[in-house]
Amino acid sequence: MNKLKIAVLFGGCSEEHAVSVKSAREIARNLDPDKYDPLYVGITRAGEWKLCAFPDSDWESGDVLPAFLPPDRGFRGLMVLERGSWRIVRVDVVFPVLHGKLGEDGAIQGLLELAGIPYAGCGIPGSAICMDKSLAYVVARDAGIAVPDFRTFDAGEMPDAELLGLAYPVFVKPARSGSSFGVSKVTRADELPEAVANARQYDAKIVIERMVPGSEVGCAVLGTGGDLVVGEVDQITLSHGFFRIHQEQNPEQGSENAVVRVPAEISEQDKIRVQETARRIYRALGCRGLARVDMFLRDDGQIVLNEVNTMPGWTSYSRYPRMMAAAGLKLSDVLDRLIALAMEG
């Protein structure tokens, strides 16, 4: 059997670079060697592409070769510089294990569309919409899905605490970032300027939203169109603050302020409602391939959108693979399905 040549892209220029490297490492360990011939392409924080042997934490210091992916469909692969000469390495499927800016916002998807190479995950529109929390809220709301009460402020706009029109506490977030980077919980008006400055370290555009009382739940979704598979629902219980495990020192040993339960400790009826709402959100936002849909289950039973991650983490402590595993799909099976979906187009 001819093996598929899979190019795993990881790293990237965003603040989620380190998480991406961990995710790629876990994917590398679970790709079936009888089916796939993987290539590992790391992108440095400065944006340089390097072909490497394996996505180790010190991959940049190993034996690497300069590489890039040309948008010309005549190549359909990587250009790799070796011994002073460029050579073409054909690629069947790209797995863009890139989190955050230039990875989940439609940028890398656009390059792959131009290059004519199939890739795992959401396309350009779904990626762009989901990456921008305010756009995702607008589209979801128009589809009849409940969203938090929120305000959006573009670059140069400074929110007036007196005119905000939201009851505290509120969350201040970069509109286009992930892993809770730049997020602050604000309980008083005088805390707002510092929170805005913190968020704008990651994006000039910010979202301020009223806190939703209730449980934070999530649902892993896999598939395209009407043929969707959902994982077990998970639930985050916080002792304080907000969920930010990817910024913690030792996430492999558990979160400092949160417990993630899979399956969620909610009723069977609520679990079914959460899964169905996740499917609705996934379709409404134009997702394909996969996404992790995060929601709030309010105390009154209403389900409210939190956010959608179109390339969720794949680390040993990440929520998406744990939800799928609890539903009976091990990571290697999920990867097989994603690659098959990419090949189908």
Catalytic residues: 19, 22, 99, 246, 252, 292, 313, 317
Using CA atoms, how far apart are residues 97 and 8, in angstroms rounded to an integer? Answer: 7
Bridge partners, 304 (sequence order): 296
55-61: long-range contacts at Cβ-Cβ below 8 A with a sequence spacing of 24 or more? 55/8, 55/10, 55/21, 55/24, 55/25, 55/28, 56/25, 57/21, 59/21
- CA torsion 53-56-62-64 (nearest 10°) is 50
Q: 94 and 113 in contact (C-beta within 8 Å)?
A: no
Other residues' Cβ atoms within 10 Å of the Cβ of residue 178: 27
User: What's the half-sphere exposure (Cβ side, CA atoms, 13 Å) at 316?
Assistant: 8
Name the 3-class secondary structure at 323.
Answer: helix
Using CA atoms, how far apart are residues 326 and 335, in angstroms rounded to an integer? Answer: 16
User: What's the half-sphere exposure (Cβ side, CA atoms, 13 Å) at 110?
Assistant: 9
